[in-house]
Chains A and B, each alone.
Chain A
Amino acid sequence: MAVNYSAKEDADGHPSGGLGAAGGGAAKTRKPDNTAFKQQRLPAWQPILTAGTVLPAFFVIGLVFIPIGIGIFVTSNNIREYEIDYTGIEPTSPCNKCLNVSWNSTPSCTCTINFTLDHPFESNVFMYYGLSNFYQNHRRYVKSRDDSQLNGDNGSLLNPSKECEPYRTSENKPIAPCGAIANSMFNDTLVLYRIDNETRIPIHLNKKGIAWWTDKNVKFRNPSGDANNLTALFQKTTKPVNWPKPVYMLDSDPDNNGFINEDFIVWMRTAALPTFRKLYRLIERKNNLQPTLEAGQYSLDITYNYPVHSFDGRKRMILSTISWMGGKNPFLGIAYITVGSICFFLGVVLLIIHHKYGNRNTSADIPN
């Protein structure tokens, strides 16, 4: 009622409407503007799903996907991959003795596994370690890090983020690097030998170039200061609880030490799924005449530090070549072939249905 009241009085106060219109052409009318937008007449493209568009689309998808799928599948199958589970669950495994190793056990438990490559690995070989049943994607785990600290922020170095709890301080000193991720860094050492006439020839394992460029150069930085004297930079901090050595002793190369140690960086890039692999070393092809890894006998020396048995974890070492679409994975190829075939098949079925029962009438019988 109140609204009625005021509105009426408005109308009463200054006559609008009819009187305004009667005032002649000069008076402003309330006639809406004749624009395409206001009259909802904007020019528009009005697509319709018709047999003419849908059926070809299905055939095209089929015809494109199947070759892609085959290509991926073949490529994937051509990738050489060799995997060793060295967890040592089986009593026969040489690493069985190390199964119940704990952090920092001294001396380290070592074991050697011999294996044979039936086919040579032609191109660059990537050496991975793989973990299973390891929940690097658990929420409490994922957030337990301090990116500012890892980026070399001096404030965060000494006062790590609360997210790192309970791996934030140890013995009243800030932990560097703090958090559960860093604390649980994979610390087995893998060394690969080729056995050539009973002699073990060590294979050069390149430990640089395994991390993302941005991680190495942007995301991870040592605290500012004298890069050659990391010990001083990390002086007021302490090592993560599980680590045997502080962070500035990860490597002797100052370019691969401290926070910018690539093994550390790789570990810090958490995996999406509980079964994952991480790049460990690169084996570069020396020349074009020889395959990177010839077929033959090899042995893997493992310094077994990393306990996984308690939570049913598995540890693997993987050697793999890669192709234009990455590592070996049959899924994508099969999926493409399947989807492509289904689309093609659907196209055929729809064509038949359309031909037999389809509604091709042209509007003549539209009831008004």
Chain B
Amino acid sequence: FFCSKMATLPRPRIVLQEGEGLPDNRIKTSKYNILTFLPINLFEQFQRVANAYFLFLLILQLIPEISSLSWFTTIVPLALVLTITAVKDATDDYFRHKTDNQVNNRQSEVLKDGKLQNEKWMNVRAGDIIKLQNNQFVAADLLLLSGSEPHGLSYIETAELDGETNLKVRQALPVTSELGADIRRLAEFDGEVVCETPNNKLDKFIGVLLWKDNKYSLNNEQMLLRGCVLRNTDWCFGMVIFAGPDTKLMQNSGRTKFKRTSIDRLMNTLVLWIFGFLVCMGIILAIGNSIWEHQVGARFRMYLYWKEVVNSSVFSGFLTFWSYIIILNTVVPISLYVSVEVIRLGHSYFINWDRKMYYAKNDTPAEVRTTTLNEELGQIEYVFSDKTGTLTQNIMTFNKCSINGKTYGDVYDELGRKTEINEKTVPVDFSFNPLADSKFQFYDHSLIESIQLRDRTVHEFFRLLSLCHTVMPEEKNSGELIYQVQSPDEGALVTAARNFGFIFKSRTPETITVEEMGQLVTYQLLAFLDFNNIRKRMSVIVRNPYGQIKLYCKGADTMLFERLHSSNEELASLTSDHLGEFAGEGLRTLVLAYKNLTEEYFKEWFKILQEAKTSVDSRDEQLATAYEEIERDMMLLGATAIEDKLQEGVTETIASLSLANIKIWVLTGDKPETAMNIGYSCRMLTDAMNEIFIMSGHTVMEVREELRKAKERLFGQSEGFSNGHVFRKKKEKLNQGSVFQVTVTGDYALVINGHSLAHALEADLEKEFLEVAFMCKTVLCCRVTPLQKSQVVELVRKYRKAVTLAIGDGANDINMIKSAHIGVGISGQEGMQAVLASDYSFAQFRYLQRLLLVHGRWSYFRMCKFLCYFFYKNFAFTLVHFWFGFFCGFSAQTVYDQWFITLFNIVYTSLPVLAMGLFDQDVSEQNSMDYSKLYEPGQLNLLFNKRKFFICIAYGIYTSFALFFIPYGAFYNIAGEDGKPIADYQSFAVTMATSLIIVVSVQIVLDTNYWTAINHFFIWGSVAVYFAILFAMHSDEFFDIFPSHFSFVGNARHSLGQISVWLVILLTTVVSVTPVITLRFLKIDLNPTLTDQVRKLQRARRKQKPLQTQMHQVYRTSSRRSAYAFSHQEGFGELITSGRNMRVRNLHPTSGQYMIAPVGLKTGIRKQLNLSWCIFVQLSYEAV
């Protein structure tokens, strides 16, 4: 990885105290200022192909030999488009200016002229010395000089930079740390720093400090980077190394990857095709022109002069080509892109406004952060979900327990029947306990009774919970007790013990103090038998105030049951039944046991332990043996059951999404056991599944073998089915290099481990892996790193032309969110990182159902209809010129009035189709959710694809044909009612324009499924506006003002007063529309899609009361047993016993009643987790 690349020192740079020539700390994310806005913005806009194309057309139109249209026909729409975009850009930039100013004007304390002065952030320069207070943001990249904590330590939170929420340690150089807070000495500090050039590597810094003729090498350990927050450190001083744009934060602020939807890409392809089509038509007409000029034009010259510049028919053809490019350009209307953006923006607002995606508890509405992706939400095939915080609430609650063969936690009614816990159930009142955690709820009153009855086993049970853990207590000033937990389930257990009267109060490396039923008891911690993955258990050995030595152990049932004393057999089997019950409810279980030790035995064992600890080689094995030695013949106490609370509605959402044929892959940092547990509780895994493949190989060979076996099972078994299962093997090759799509019946699931995944993702195995994974209904990837998460997403994107969505809440999901087509952030408990990287955000996983099945589906549906209609409309509008070309000597004469061409797309027809694109609904939201299958057309890309496009334009061409040839036939040699001929060019133009407006309006009437008042207003309004403008432009008044621009004077009056004109319009309309109605009717009647059926049903039901279809949550009855161990990490025992993370502090007595051991503890700083970014992505990451 890139850690190694930075080995060489790049161009050295000296940071001088004066900081000459270096940038100040002002940051600028804005692009424009008032003066530069117009030129820069216009320049940027014309870099877009579409705008440049229209500019090109505009230039063409200025050449008189070519100009077939007035300049205003292009400049009006272009100006409109440019203005809309410019206004949007200006608003965006205004907000950037605002945030820039806000950040730049922050205050920080800078050491200047020998004293500390407040200075705005933007005035800080490289070389300045800054004082930081606790919880302040670091203003620039600083070299830590000294800090308030011993040894020059400072703690920072780097969440802004890398998303990790744990604290990290920075340590000043000893020489500088002794400067302390001595302002005078700091002011005299004249060290010179030679360092690397500014770069974006967050975990690397190479530099040298030259001070007092000594050289000190500097590295990342001494750096406080901009964007970090100082934590748990009262103050510190630092020298600015990089300021403003040089800081690592700003260096990292690269442009975010621009996401495009598949419709976007298709649209671009189609626009290119249309350009090709345009050029073809241009060429045909140009050739026609050459021939015409040669055959006819040359002889017609007495009436139609031939300009000197045009001296040959070929050259005339050439000019005509460009003329036709101009008049046919409306097949690619400039308003297309703007309209698409407007529609997407509208859809985004609908998502933002949706009350059903608003989470009242956090006051969080759904938020669209990227407004250009909406229709892709209707095409999702793969959902990649994080587990913790996304599927689950990341809240562990102590739910049930089994103590000495008796279960607690269930609630029974008067008749002794088990009842469900609901809001009315009275929870146990913990008010007797002043230190109880008010959030903890327990409903079984018998447990508290047992405690009050001083049941010895129950006491021992909770004593164990309060002693055997790695939790750090922190007592706030108010006397409030806060537990710093590193795994939430442990926290749940200790909190439960606390509420039941066994309050873990404080610890030192040697002691643990617990308030047991109001009595402060200090236990001597003799040994800490740490947890690891193989042991799946942890133990403590303590000596109680009476001198008894006890071993308390908690761990996975599989581990502990083997190590119980033989006398426990009966209890073990009873507890085992309970465990099965708990697991069946999706709870995480732990078994608790204890053992009494004699002084002699312990001493003997302790010797072995010491030897093991000091042994140089095979230390780990020796320790394991030592632990094994003592953790046996234990006495069973009972079991705990913790609920990893699923978010509300997760099961239903997953069920509904699966029905919609959306495959959900869970990618989690958790262990396979935990992941599978959640998989069962949200019904992604069921007992009914044919098989669950678990891949846990450590080497390529193992993984390959496992994959091969899985494949064998998948295909082999299917082929061997004789009991009614059908095996279909569609070997359709999607694309070259894509994985074969084979359909296998039966439900399979794949669970794969992080290290297996690493091998599976390698180039030679990835296909095989995907082959298996695509066959499985459920895929769980466990222990995956953030990088792997995104790799999996990329892999699926690469081999399946499917649209992917990644949803997550934590910093570890950022990669995945960014690499999927659509990233969704859960604005949950893990801060804002995922949300900020995401395209959509909301508070609860269950809103995903609504986002996809309702908003996504509608967006896709609307966008497709919009595009179809738009292309149809413009082909019908434009191709009339093509037909006319054959009758006007291919002279690029337009059929319509120039004003009509100018206004057609932006005034006459834009609003009805926009209204359809914004408001149309085929089926109601409720039905969209109820009939998940309605989602499938989007996945299969059925509503708008190349075929549909061709149908649309073929229909457009047909309409243009009818539009031209019906008036042609009707007007050929004809006179009007008053005997005056009506086949003049202007009447012809008005007739055709009016027919066109009516035909496209009728078409939108047919296309609109959902007629709101707005649709009515826009559709009828547009037609009315057409006539109003028509009459206005053909009025005497307009003509009097600009005779040369409104030469159609009197035309509307004259033409539209003719019956035959209306007969022509009526005939054209009927001829244009009939085929569509026929085909649509046949389709609905003979081969109705699900949508058609649901629409029919919806209509039938509308009269009746709407039927509420509610999904009832089905409780799982599973016999599966949880194989859960701890979710926390190894190595904490050592931290605790060494006391490295503890520090003596002033104590605040909670009550005057007891003497409290004068030991306070400080937030644990996990040296092990003090990882650089590099390691952060490489190591298996614990999803907290």
A residues with a Cβ closer than 8 A to B are 1-13, 17-18, 20-21, 29-34, 38-40, 42-51, 54, 57, 61, 65, 68, 72, 103, 124, 126, 128, 130, 133-142, 146-148, 150-151, 153, 161-162, 165-167, 180, 183-184, 210-215, 218-219, 242, 269-279, 282, 307, 310-312, 320, 322, 324-329, 331-332, 335-336, 339, 342-343, 346, 350, 353-354, 357-359, 361-363, 366-368
Question: Taking the complex as formed, is B1044 at the interface, i.e. its CB lies under 8 A from any CB of chain A?
Answer: yes
- Taking CB atoms, residues of chain B closer than 8 Å to A214 are 1036, 1049-1051, 1053-1054
In whole angstroms, how far apart are the Cα atoms of A219 and B1071 in the complex?
36
B970 touches A362 (CB 8 A): no
Question: Taking the complex as formed, is B460 at the interface, i.e. its CB lies under 8 A from any CB of chain A?
Answer: no
B919 touches A3 (CB 8 A): no
Given contacts A42-B1014, A350-B1078, contact A329 B973 (CB under 8 A): yes
- Taking CB atoms, residues of chain B closer than 8 Å to A325 are 977, 1059-1060, 1063
Given contacts A6-B102, A44-B1011, A269-B985, 19 further A-B pairs with CB under 8 A are A5-B103, A6-B99, A20-B363, A21-B362, A30-B363, A31-B355, A31-B358, A39-B353, A43-B1012, A43-B1013, A48-B1099, A139-B892, A139-B893, A142-B985, A270-B984, A272-B985, A276-B981, A324-B977, A350-B1082
Question: Taking the complex as formed, is B688 at the interface, i.e. its CB lies under 8 A from any CB of chain A?
Answer: no
A363 touches B1096 (CB 8 A): yes
Question: Taking the complex as formed, is B932 at the interface, i.e. its CB lies under 8 A from any CB of chain A?
Answer: yes
- Taking CB atoms, residues of chain B closer than 8 Å to A38 are 349-350, 353
- Taking CB atoms, residues of chain A closer than 8 Å to B1039 are 151, 218-219
- Taking CB atoms, residues of chain B closer than 8 Å to A139 are 68, 323, 888, 891-893
Question: Taking the complex as formed, is B379 at the interface, i.e. its CB lies under 8 A from any CB of chain A?
Answer: no
Closest-CB distance, B288 to chain A (whole angstroms): 13
- Taking CB atoms, residues of chain B closer than 8 Å to A148 are 1043-1044
Task: Name the residue on B nearest A276 (C-beta).
Answer: B983
Given contacts A7-B832, A166-B305, A367-B1090, contact A269 B986 (CB under 8 A): yes
List the 8 closest pairs (A to B, CB-CB), nearest first. A214-B1050, A327-B975, A2-B253, A272-B988, A363-B1097, A21-B363, A38-B353, A139-B891
Question: Taking the complex as formed, is B304 at the interface, i.e. its CB lies under 8 A from any CB of chain A?
Answer: yes
Task: Name the residue on B nearest A148 (C-beta).
Answer: B1043
In whole angstroms, how far apart are the Cα atoms of A229 and B851 in the complex?
80
Within 8 A of A (CB), among B1131-1172: none
- Taking CB atoms, residues of chain A closer than 8 Å to B425 are none
Within 8 A of A (CB), among B318-335: 323
Task: Name the residue on A nearest B887 (C-beta).
Answer: A273
In whole angstroms, how far apart are the Cα atoms of A205 and B888 in the complex?
32
B1009 touches A272 (CB 8 A): no
Closest-CB distance, A231 to chain B (whole angstroms): 24
Question: Taking the complex as formed, is B208 at the interface, i.e. its CB lies under 8 A from any CB of chain A?
Answer: no
- Taking CB atoms, residues of chain B closer than 8 Å to A12 are 137
B residues with a Cβ closer than 8 A to A are 27, 29, 64, 68, 99-100, 102-103, 137, 160, 227, 249-250, 252-254, 256, 296, 299-300, 302-305, 307, 323, 349-350, 352-355, 358, 360-365, 659, 832-833, 836-837, 887-889, 891-893, 919, 921, 925, 930-933, 966, 968-989, 1009-1015, 1036, 1039, 1043-1044, 1047, 1049-1051, 1053-1054, 1058-1060, 1063-1064, 1067, 1070-1071, 1074, 1077-1078, 1080-1082, 1084-1088, 1090, 1092-1100
- Contact pick for B1011, options A3, A47, A162, A331, CB 8 Å: A47
In whole angstroms, how far apart are the Cα atoms of A242 and B302 in the complex?
9
A141 touches B303 (CB 8 A): yes
In whole angstroms, how far apart are the Cα atoms of A359 and B1084 in the complex?
8
B979 touches A4 (CB 8 A): no
In whole angstroms, how far apart are the Cα atoms of A167 and B137 in the complex?
78
- Taking CB atoms, residues of chain B closer than 8 Å to A31 are 355, 358, 360, 363, 365
- Taking CB atoms, residues of chain B closer than 8 Å to A342 are 1074
B1067 touches A335 (CB 8 A): yes
In whole angstroms, how far apart are the Cα atoms of A346 and B1078 in the complex?
8
Closest-CB distance, B1104 to chain A (whole angstroms): 12
B979 touches A279 (CB 8 A): yes
In whole angstroms, how far apart are the Cα atoms of A23 and B1095 in the complex?
45
- Taking CB atoms, residues of chain A closer than 8 Å to B970 are 329, 331-332, 335
In whole angstroms, how far apart are the Cα atoms of A161 and B1045 in the complex?
12
List, sorted by A's number, 10 A–B pairs whose CB atoms are closer than 8 Å: A43-B1012, A135-B300, A272-B983, A272-B989, A273-B988, A279-B980, A332-B969, A332-B970, A353-B1082, A362-B1100
- Taking CB atoms, residues of chain B closer than 8 Å to A167 are 305
In whole angstroms, how far apart are the Cα atoms of A367 and B304 in the complex?
69
In whole angstroms, how far apart are the Cα atoms of A274 and B823 in the complex?
61
- Taking CB atoms, residues of chain B closer than 8 Å to A271 are 981, 983-985
In whole angstroms, how far apart are the Cα atoms of A226 and B974 in the complex?
39
- Contact pick for A10, options B99, B299, B352, B1051, CB 8 Å: B99
B304 touches A135 (CB 8 A): yes
